[in-house]
């Protein structure tokens, strides 16, 4: 990303397509700003393309030209945060980055994901609930990371375990724990740390 922002909305323009017109970039920034507000202010799963177009002040044809559905808009808003986390996992300091034992890296990954969910839950709910979760590039990245940690630890049934270990990070599960069970992020992260140690340390 090149760090540029739209002067009207403050949204990043770093993913501006080659040859994209200035008015198209402004429309995109308005769409993302409107969608961010809508996802945060109500049930993200009930936001429609018509809601977003109306709030952004653009026609539905303009909206559909770039995004097929609300989930794709939520995913566009999430991308920057997920890319940052992925970079820290690949080349940041341990235990999130390379160099720590598998159990410690898994616990650090869980803590980072709890932080991401806590900060951006409306967006994740808008993008990754139900089967859509498994189709995102981010889920593929998280899955490859956890699978590598399981293999490094010589854990049994790696392919069966990897999705089991990712299941607690489903956004609707996190929402249930926070809103219905009244668990704090720290309590959730601590429980996941216990899970990581139990699986990868053999506890």
Q: How confident is the model at residue 150 (pLDDT cuts 50, 70, 90)?
A: very high
Considering the domain delimited by 1-67, tell me its CATH architecture: Orthogonal Bundle (1.10)
pLDDT above 90 (res 7) = no
Look at residue 4 in the predicted model and tell me its pLDDT.
Answer: 39
C-alpha distances in Å from residue 112, one per residue of 30, 31, 60, 157: 29, 28, 36, 25
Instruction: Tokens for 72, please give them.
Output: 């794709």
2: three-class secondary structure by DSSP? coil
Q: What percent of the chain has pLDDT over 90?
A: 67
Contacts of 108 (CB under 8 A, 6+ apart): 94, 95, 96, 100
The three-point CA angle 112-29-77 to 5° equals 20
Q: How confident is the model at residue 202 (pLDDT cuts 50, 70, 90)?
A: low
Task: Record the pTM.
Answer: 0.80
Residues of the chain with CATH 1.10.357: 71-200
Count of CB atoms within 10 A of residue 52's CB?
A: 23
Residue 95: asked if its preceding bond is cis (omega within 30°), the reply is yes
Instruction: Tokens for 1, please give them.
Output: 């990303």
What's the pLDDT tens digit per position in 35-91? 989 988 878 888 999 999 999 999 999 899 899 999 889 888 899 899 999 999 999
Residues of the chain with CATH 1.10.10.60: 1-67
pLDDT above 70 (res 177) = yes
- Residue length, the chain? 203
Phi first, then psi: give them for residue 12, nearest 5 degrees: -65, 140
Does domain 71-200 fall under CATH 1.10.357? My reply is: yes
Least confident segment among 63-77, 96-110, 176-190 = 63-77
Quote the mean pLDDT of the chain: 88
Comparing CA positions, the residue from 90, 86, 166 lying closest to residue 133 is: 166
């Amino acid at each position: 990303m090149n760090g540029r922002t739209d002067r009207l909305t403050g949204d990043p323009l770093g993913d501006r397509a080659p040859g994209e017109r200035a008015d198209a970039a402004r429309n995109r920034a308005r769409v993302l700003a409107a969608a961010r507000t809508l996802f945060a202010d109500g049930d993200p799963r009930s936001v429609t393309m018509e809601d977003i177009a109306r709030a952004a002040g653009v026609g539905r044809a303009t909206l559909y030209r770039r995004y097929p559905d609300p989930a794709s808009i939520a995913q566009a808003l999430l991308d920057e945060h997920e890319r940052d986390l992925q970079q820290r996992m690949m080349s940041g300091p341990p235990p999130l980055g390379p160099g720590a034992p598998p159990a410690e890296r898994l616990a650090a990954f869980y803590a980072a994901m709890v932080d991401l969910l806590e900060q951006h839950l409306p967006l994740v709910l808008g993008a990754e609930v139900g089967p859509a979760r498994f189709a995102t590039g981010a889920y593929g990245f998280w899955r490859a990371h956890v699978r590598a940690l399981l293999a490094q630890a010589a854990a049994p049934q790696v392919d069966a375990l990897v999705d089991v270990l990712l299941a607690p990070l489903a956004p609707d599960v996190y929402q249930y724990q926070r809103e219905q069970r009244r668990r704090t992020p720290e309590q959730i992260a601590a429980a996941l740390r216990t899970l990581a140690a139990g699986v990868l340390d053999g506890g």
